[in-house]
Amino acid sequence: MIIGFGEQIKPLEAAYRVLRTPVGGITNISAAMENGLHVLAASGNRPDHAVLITDGERTAGPDPCDPAKKFKKLLVVLVGLRNTVLTRKDVIEAPD
């Protein structure tokens, strides 16, 4: 996690943290989202939305569309220009 739950930082600091995050290697987007769901559930106060910052490369783990459906609202920030179609599946609806 780049910004801990409940942590309040300025937008510029958030951007710096994203830029300083090491990249490369294996990505398991599904595991990251399951971890996010776990953190949100443990907080006792589920917010209306979550933000996933990704390059869209799913190189390990199951299809991330299933855990994505468990979020009330999931905002996806795509880093880079690859996988623009894959990461823009805005047809995924959260369950009622």
| Residue 4: closest CA among 46, 75, 12, 14 | 14
Residue 10: per-residue pLDDT? 92
Distances (CA, A) of 22 to 8, 25, 48, 85, 88: 22, 9, 28, 24, 24
Domain coordinates of the chain in residue numbers? 11-88
Compute the residue count for the chain: 96
pLDDT in tens, 8-35: 899 899 888 888 877 767 788 899 889 8
* pTM of the shown model: 0.66
Say if CB 61 and CB 30 are below 8 A apart.
yes
- pLDDT, tens digit (0-9, with 9 covering 90-100), for 34-83: 988 888 888 777 666 788 888 777 678 888 888 988 988 888 887 766 65
**Separation of alpha carbons 96 and 94, rounded Å:** 6
What does pLDDT average to over the chain?
77
Query: In the chain, helix, strand, coil percent, each to 5?
Result: 35, 10, 55
